Amino acid sequence: MNKMEFNQLEETLYQEQLPNGLTVYILPKRGFSKTYATFTTKYGSIDNHFVPLGEKQAIQVPDGIAHFLEHKMFEKEEGDIFQEFSKNGASANAFTSFTRTAYLFSATGRIQENVTTLLDFVQSPYFTEQTVEKEKGIIAQEITMYDDQPDWRLYFGMIENLYKNHPVKIDIAGTVESIQHITAEHLYTCYHTFYHPSNMTLFIVGNVEPESMMQFVKDNQAAKTFDAPAPIERIFPDEPKEAAVKERTLEMAVQKPKVFVGIKPERLDLHGPEMLKHELSAQLAYELLFGRTSNFYHEAYENGWIDESYSFDYSLESGFGYALIGTDTNHPEKFAQEVKKAIHQAVEKWPFGQEDLDRVRRKKIGFFMRALNSPEYIANQFTQYAFNGMNLFDVVPVLEQIEVADLQEAFALVSAESQQSVFTIKSPEKEQA
């Protein structure tokens, strides 16, 4: 078992890779009564084109299948796994993102029983045509619910604008139509390909004793047999550098128009420390340009182009990423124009110096320290970073090393005119009475 100490943060992380390939992390949290555990596979909605385990031919699976599989993991021949967790006083859940499927629980007691339930239910698939059919009604309601949420439509509309071929543009849950094609056989194929322990990470944080918990997990895994680990072959289409669609509007009943300006990053092949430095640098640059202390924010607020819904974000994964700046506004064209102008001006003449950097750096360090109070943040963020070869606990040291030139360099990769796009949601024009 490896022990990593982060002295300034007063945290110690324990790590071990088990013989079957599973990576286990344990982070004890002093003073906490709860324990939070996530069991995550590096498999999300974008992994829809791959060579199934033990085969030669690549296959394309129906949209929404990773999410469908997540739902179906909870049903077993003997009943519903939620019931099992509840018996042991645990709240359980799961989520599917573009790149991950995570199963999780939090509990303040009977941690070993709950860890056993978590490991065992995710490692014992049970799908039948009947249970698969039954789930379609539930997921159709979930999709319909999201269809009615303008903020979700705005987010996905923008990703569709930015990406021409990459499967990130497909809605994570699929469509009511696409899920009709999913069969039990599909689920087994995806399961066997992506749920091998070597493609998974277990993260346990909270009121745990690391040595005994690690041994407990090892014993659980040693009692099960798995195939030898094999590399997974995923196939992704070529993706042009430019935004796929420059501008698009969706009509939907909303109180006020909603708009996003999105920017597609130029480098989508970053990994590990290089990726961490780029992502943090670009986030700092965007904070300076669009944050609450920026000239842009001040002017947009004074002129009423933005309201309380205003937000901006930059996030990057392997193969895709996006910067998003958006708001509800009665002036969507003006807002988009001003965002583009601010980006253009920063490209033409870089406006930020050392003092600016020091300020936003402090802000980001403070945010990170606050986030470390949350076991949920630690487990989820750590896993996402780890899947991209980054270490969450490197955030502060890397932030401390970043220089003004790094911000400028990172920003240059997320700012070109051809990579920008605008997506707007507006109510249909009212008919004349």
Partner 1 sequence: MFETKKIAQGVHVHVHETTQFKTINFSIRFKDRLTVKNASERAILANVLQHSNEMYPSHTALRMVLDDLYGTSLYIDSTKRGDDHIVNLNVETVNDQYLSDKGVLEKVMNLMYIVLFKPNFENGLFKESIFKREQESIVQRIESVFDDKTRYAQQRMMELGLPGHPASITSNGSIDQVKQVTNESLVAAYHHMLENNEVEIYVVGDVSPELISSHIRDYFHFTDRKELPEKAESQLQPPEQSRVLEYEDMKQGKLHMMFFTPVTFRDEDFPVMQLMNGVFGGYAHSKLFANIREKESMAYYVSSSYASQFGLMFVLAGIDRKLEEKAVSLILGQLDEIKQGHITDTELEQTKALLTNQLKEALDSARGQIDIYDQYMELSEDFEPAYLIERWESVTKEQIAQAANNMSLQMTYFLSGKEEASDE
Active site residues per annotation: 70
Nearer to partner 1, 82 or 226 (CB): 82
For partner 1, which residue of 128, 212, 215, 309 counts as binding (CB under 8 A)? 309
Q: Is 137 in the site for partner 1 (CB under 8 A)?
A: yes
Whose tokens are 């270490």? That residue is: 391
Residues 6+ apart with CB under 8 A from 242: 264, 418, 419
Nearer to partner 1, 163 or 260 (CB): 260
Instruction: Quote the longest CA-to-CA distance of the chain.
Output: 73
Q: Is 364 in the site for partner 1 (CB under 8 A)?
A: yes
Within positions 170 to 229, which residues make up the interface with partner 1, using CB under 8 A?
Answer: none
Within positions 259 to 288, which residues make up the interface with partner 1, using CB under 8 A?
Answer: none
Q: Is 138 in the site for partner 1 (CB under 8 A)?
A: yes
Nearer to partner 1, 310 or 320 (CB): 310
Binding range to partner 1, per CB under 8 A, among 182-190, 238-246, 300-308, 416-424? 300-308
Q: Is 31 in the site for partner 1 (CB under 8 A)?
A: yes
Shortest spacing between CB 407 and partner 1, in angstroms: 15
Total residues interacting with partner 1, rule: CB under 8 A:
71
For partner 1, which residue of 151, 233, 266, 394 counts as binding (CB under 8 A)? 151
DSSP-derived letter for residue 127 is: -
For partner 1, which residue of 49, 164, 248, 256 counts as binding (CB under 8 A)? 256
Cβ–Cβ < 8 Å for 96, 156: no
Nearer to partner 1, 124 or 373 (CB): 373
Burial class (CB in 10 A: 0-12, 13-18, 19+), 146: middle
Which pair of tokens denotes residue 160?
């569709």
Binding range to partner 1, per CB under 8 A, among 116-124, 183-191, 238-246, 361-369? 361-369
Binding range to partner 1, per CB under 8 A, among 28-36, 183-191, 235-243, 346-354? 28-36
Whose tokens are 């240059």? That residue is: 412
404 vs 355: CA distance, rounded Å: 10
For partner 1, which residue of 239, 279, 317, 328 counts as binding (CB under 8 A)? 328
For partner 1, which residue of 332, 375, 393, 399 counts as binding (CB under 8 A)? 375
Which pair of tokens denotes residue 49?
């084109």
Cα–Cα distances (Å) from 282 to 114, 231, 285, in that order, read: 40, 32, 5
Nearer to partner 1, 140 or 230 (CB): 140
Rounded to 5 degrees, what are φ and ψ at 425? -115, 130
Binding range to partner 1, per CB under 8 A, among 178-186, 190-198, 290-298, 379-387? 290-298
105 vs 89: CA distance, rounded Å: 10
171 vs 342: CA distance, rounded Å: 31
32 vs 16: CA distance, rounded Å: 23
Within positions 53 to 112, which residues make up the interface with partner 1, using CB under 8 A?
Answer: 75, 80, 82-83, 85-92, 106-109
DSSP-derived 3-state class of residue 37: strand
Nearer to partner 1, 147 or 233 (CB): 147
Binding range to partner 1, per CB under 8 A, among 37-45, 208-216, 302-310, 411-419? 302-310
- Least Cα distance to 361 among 279, 275, 271, 285 occurs for 285
Provide the residue count of the chain: 433
